[in-house]
Chains A and B, each alone.
Chain A
């Protein structure tokens, strides 16, 4: 364990060593799995990267850490496990200007199971996320300057708040294994500055503020303009925005994903909504043909689920939805009926100048035990010792134990707590 991988400027990633496992673990948060209904969950492993640290964790359903990577960079923001078993990770490279903006990355790294760097793509304007394509290329998001003659026409935002006088636009790039850019979509060439207005309560930093990209089965690109409250589909061949939806319905959304049924699942953060803000988030499923919402999840009381920024949602094979409530440091799984069947509170805390002492995570992904990327890899957690496992144990929740308490106990016992 703990093999270092070589790059000229030191290790970019490695597997966590034993002594490091207690670092940054909250002493006052004794519970991490607070709900677990074994019969209704989609059992698998959950991957996440707390935003204040440099660790990427893979946990089982009992909240036990079964694998971890130590990265050289903090997340910026996404981390996912590829079918090859490698980890694809957007790293936050410190610096001036836009690098200090949350969501900025600077490097996208692919590391293998043991932390060796397999692929690396650097550009100081990379941000948020990426998408590994079937052909082995990667889509990345990159901030670019909006030309002045367009920037002056862009409506909305708080007047005069462009950082250094620059309104930053976006492009999506397709990058090969060799680092060549072979396709590019430039946002300002395809948006209408009169129509695609920036949210009036936001600084004029980004237009339209991309925070997602993925490839649809037909080859087109699904993305999200979070400063104009729209989710969009881009025609890969022409670059036209084929479909857009969201303004007036959702606010500063994150992480749209395309579902097997043809719908699109979106994390509607609910920051800066139109009309009366109540301070709650939702997960919405939209049919892109009719532009109608066909399913939505909100908590009751609604304010119990709220992340004003970041966050993710993933539809699981059994129809459940895994949700990452970023600012609350909570990952939970709900049925289509909205009942919570699994819930995890991130016990890894970090200090941050902006967020204080927090356990925030930007996104989370669940992988079934049959996922290709897990095949042949060690995930039984044998290398991780009891101190950490206790943090992942079922805590005492006072008067509100889950209904299936005995089942949870049996499960916990079988895991050897």
Chain B
């Protein structure tokens, strides 16, 4: 795998019997293109968006693509170092790329969650939520004296909007976090707290969030705003993408960056039972160092029990069984340019949709439509 990710591109492994067959969606970092590929890595559809991703995009059950577009140039905007993943515009386009709906969402960051009623909850890192003075001094951890411009710690909220673009709910993190518990990683700048990077609405309506700088995944009570469950410090290292699965457990992408120990870096995907706070399943590579992305990344539990994993900075998507066997592996052959990382084939987040997914019903999914693209990028090199 260490070799595959450097020297091979396309689908490098595919076990037809064990993989969950479907189509995989990803919006290539540093480009305007969101791609839908089949199990052989061939492009079957593409959406060209007006800007680079910021950062996620999903296929809705109605067949439309909903994505967060990056409209802010945050190098010029004077934002703190380490700020990343900003969006700015939520855009829904139909299968052919025609605009269906848009909403300006300045200072939106990383991720959003579309609710069944059409509303959307997104993560907001706004200047109006900056802490300073005593409020900033209460925040513990981080590298001393590294506040933005010497005084600010940027704050965050979750915002729910309806299809008219009106705010119908907001949850401000700093009002509900406990500075004595939610202590920042000691090696991060004190520029923002707590660096929320994923949002997921659970079946009971409460909201599951991942907060990177405090190595914590938490459940927010939607009505009271209270944090009713926390897990992660000591276990997680700057995790991403917390989501509840059908059995009530929580899947987390544990990046392992700034992990509290000295040793080889590795990422893992963990399944945690929120009742017992125990890890009931995890995937680590062998050797562990073969699967590592310091930032970004995500996972998805598939209907057959497999897990699709996005090793973001390596541009590698792969599917593992519950036993940890690798049954499908794709190394992104498409490169884009991103200000933080330079030339990259990285992928923030990827989604697998089964052929019976409503959003794919009646759609033309013929790789021949992308003959030249597939000739250039889609060479199948798996050998099973």
A and B associate: yes
A159 to chain B, nearest CB (A): 11
Name the contact of A328 in the complex, choosing from B2, B143, B260, B313 (C-beta under 8 A): B2
Q: Which of A186-232 contact B (CB under 8 A)?
A: 199-203, 205, 227
Pairwise interchain contact A355-B264, C-beta atoms closer than 8 A: yes
**Beta-carbon contact of A398 and B187 below 8 Å:** no
| Smallest CB gap from A329: residue in B | B2
B residues 37-82 near A (Cβ < 8 Å) are 81-82
Report A120-163 residues with CB < 8 Å from chain B CB. 158
Task: A399 to B8: give the CA distance in the assembly, Å.
Answer: 8
CB <8 Å contact, A301 and B313 = yes
Binds A, one of B102-110, B171-179, B246-254, B340-348: B340-348
Contact A355 B294 (CB under 8 A): no
* B292 at interface by CB-CB < 8 Å: yes
B347-384 residues with Cβ-Cβ distance < 8 A to A are 379, 381
**Shortest distance in angstroms between B330's beta carbon and chain A's nearest beta carbon?**
15
Check if B294 sits within 8 Å of A202, measured CB to CB. no
Please, which residue of chain A has its CB at the minimum distance from the CB of B267?
Answer: A279
A29–B3 CB distance below 8 A: yes
Interface of B is mostly: loop
With the chains together, A400 CA to B314 CA distance in Å? 18
Which stretch in B148-156, B221-229, B282-290 binds the other chain? B282-290
Return A250 CB to nearest CB of chain B, in Å.
13
Q: A305: nearest residue on chain B (CB-CB)?
A: B6
- A398 is contacted by which of B293, B345, B381 (Cβ under 8 Å)? B381
Contact flag A201-B260 (CB < 8 Å), given A355-B289, A357-B286: yes
Cβ distance A252 to chain B, nearest Cβ, rounded Å: 7
Minimum distance in angstroms from B259 CB to a CB of chain A: 7
How many Å lie between the Cα of A271 and that of B265 in the bound state?
8
Alpha-carbon distance between A329 and B287 when the two chains are bound, in angstroms: 11
Chain A min CB distance to B154 (Å): 14
Q: Which of B8, B265, B285, B342 has the most CB atoms of chain A within a 10 A radius of its CB?
A: B265
Q: Could you tell me the distance between the alpha carbons of A360 and B290 in the complex, rounded to whole angstroms?
A: 11
Which residues of B lie under 8 Å from residue A274 when comparing CB positions?
143, 187, 189
Q: How far is the CB of B202 from chain A (nearest CB, A)?
A: 29
CA of A277 to CA of B295, assembled, Å: 8
Do residues B265 and A279 form an inter-chain contact, with CB atoms below 8 A?
yes
For residue A278, CB closer than 8 A to chain B, the reply is yes
Q: Measured between alpha carbons, how far is A276 from B185 in the docked complex, in Å?
A: 11
Q: List CB contacts (< 8 Å) of A389-406 with chain B.
A: 397-400
Q: Which residues of B contact A306 (CB under 8 A)?
A: 265, 292
Residues of chain B in range 230-258 having any CB-CB distance to chain A below 8 Å = 238, 257-258
Q: A-B contact count, CB below 8 Å?
A: 123
Distance of A163 from chain B, by nearest CB (Å): 12
A345 within 8 A of B: yes
Q: Is the CB of A309 within 8 A of B264?
A: yes
Give Cα A202 to B261, complex, Å. 5
Q: How far is the CA of A360 from the CA of B288 in the complex (A)?
A: 12
Q: Given the known inter-chain contacts A309-B263, A309-B264, please indicate yes or no for A300 contacting B314, CB distance below 8 A.
A: no
B9 lies within 8 A of chain A by Cβ:
yes
Q: Scoring B residues 259 to 291 as 1 if CB is less than 8 Å from chain A, else 0, what string do you get?
A: 111111100000000000000000001111100
Give the most central of A29, A275, A303: most B CB within 10 Å.
A303
A34: CB under 8 A from chain B? yes
Contacts of A275 in B (CB 8 A): 81-82, 143, 187-189
Chain A residues closer than 8 Å to B343, beta-carbon distance: 300-301
Chain B residues, Cβ within 8 Å of A102: 263
Contact-residue size bin, chain A (C-beta under 8 Å from the other chain)? 35 or more
Given contacts A355-B287, A398-B7, contact A300 B342 (CB under 8 A): yes
Identity of the chain A residue whose Cβ is nearest the Cβ of B259 in the assembled complex: A201
Q: Bound complex: CA of A360 vs CA of B293, how far in Å?
A: 19
Given the complex of chains A and B, what is the CA–CA distance between A400 and B333 in angstroms? 12
Tell me if A46 counts as interface (CB < 8 A to partner B). no
Contact assessment for A303 and B293 in the assembled complex, using a CB-CB cutoff below 8 Å = yes
Q: Which residues of chain A are within 8 angstroms of B9 by Cβ–Cβ distance?
A: 398-399
Contact of A278 with B295 at beta-carbon distance under 8 Å, contacts A308-B265, A397-B7 already known: yes
| A356 proximal to B (CB < 8 A) | yes
Given contact pairs A201-B258, A279-B265, A398-B7, A356 touches B342 in the complex (Cβ within 8 A): no
The docked-state distance in angstroms from the alpha carbon of A279 to that of B264 is 11
Count B interface residues, CB 8 Å. 45
In the complex, B186 has a CB within 8 A of chain A = yes
Please tell me if the beta carbons of B292 and A279 are within 8 angstroms of each other in the complex. Answer: yes
Q: CB of A375 within 8 A of chain B?
A: no
Interface residue from B82, B262, B344 paired with A271 (Cβ < 8 Å): B262
Q: Are B288 and A279 in contact (CB under 8 A)?
A: no
Known A-B contacts A303-B293, A327-B289, A328-B289; A276 and B262 likewise in contact (beta carbons under 8 Å): no
Give B286-327 as 1s and 0s: 1 = Cβ < 8 Å from A's Cβ atoms.
111100111100000000000000000110000000000000
Complex formed: what's the CA distance from A227 to B141 in Å?
A: 19
Chain A contacts for B264, CB-based, 8 A:
308-309, 327, 354-355
Q: Are B292 and A358 in contact (CB under 8 A)?
A: no
Interface positions, chain B 187-220, Cβ under 8 Å from A, are 187-189
Q: Smallest distance from the beta carbon of A328 to chain B beta carbons, Å?
A: 6
Known contacts A279-B313, A300-B343, A398-B381: A34-B7 contact under CB 8 Å: yes
**When the two chains form their complex, are residues A279 and B294 in contact, meaning their CB atoms are under 8 A apart?**
yes
A271–B238 CA distance with the chains assembled, in angstroms: 13
Closest to B258 in A: A277
- CB pair A400 B260 closer than 8 Å: no
Across the interface, which residues of A come within 8 angstroms of B381, CB to CB? 398
A34 to B189, CA, bound (A): 40
CB-nearest residue of chain B to A328: B2
A205 to B, closest residue via Cβ: B262
Q: Across the interface, which residues of B come within 8 angstroms of A31, CB to CB? A: 3
A177 at the interface (CB under 8 A from B): no
A11 part of interface (Cβ distance < 8 Å): no
In the complex, chain B residues 1-18 whose Cβ is within 8 Å of any chain A Cβ:
2-3, 6-9
Nearest residue (CB) in A for B261 is A203
**B82, B287, B295: residue with the most chain A Cβ atoms closer than 10 Å:** B287
A38 at the interface (CB under 8 A from B): no
Q: In whole Å, how far is B10's beta carbon from the nearest beta carbon of chain A?
A: 9
Please indicate the chain A residues that have their CB under 8 angstroms from the CB of B238 in the complex.
277
Centre residue among B262, B342, B381 by max chain A CB count within 10 A: B262
With a cutoff of 8 Å between Cβ atoms, the chain B residues found around residue A252 in the complex are: 262
| Smallest CB separation, B253 vs chain A (Å) | 14
Give B residues with C-beta under 8 Å from A: 2-3, 6-9, 81-82, 84, 143, 185-189, 238, 257-265, 285-289, 292-295, 313-314, 340-346, 379, 381
Q: Provide 24 A-B residue pairs closer than 8 Å at the C-beta atoms, listed in order of the A residue.
A: A199-B262, A201-B187, A227-B262, A274-B187, A274-B189, A275-B188, A275-B189, A276-B188, A277-B187, A277-B238, A277-B258, A277-B295, A278-B294, A278-B341, A301-B341, A301-B345, A308-B289, A328-B289, A355-B264, A356-B286, A356-B288, A360-B287, A398-B7, A398-B379
- 5 tightest Cβ-Cβ pairs between the two chains A and B: A279-B294, A356-B287, A200-B186, A308-B265, A356-B286
Question: Can you add 17 more A-B contacts, CB < 8 Å, to A227-B262, A306-B265, A356-B288?
Answer: A201-B261, A203-B262, A274-B189, A275-B189, A277-B187, A277-B238, A278-B341, A279-B257, A279-B292, A279-B294, A300-B342, A301-B342, A301-B344, A303-B314, A327-B265, A354-B263, A360-B287
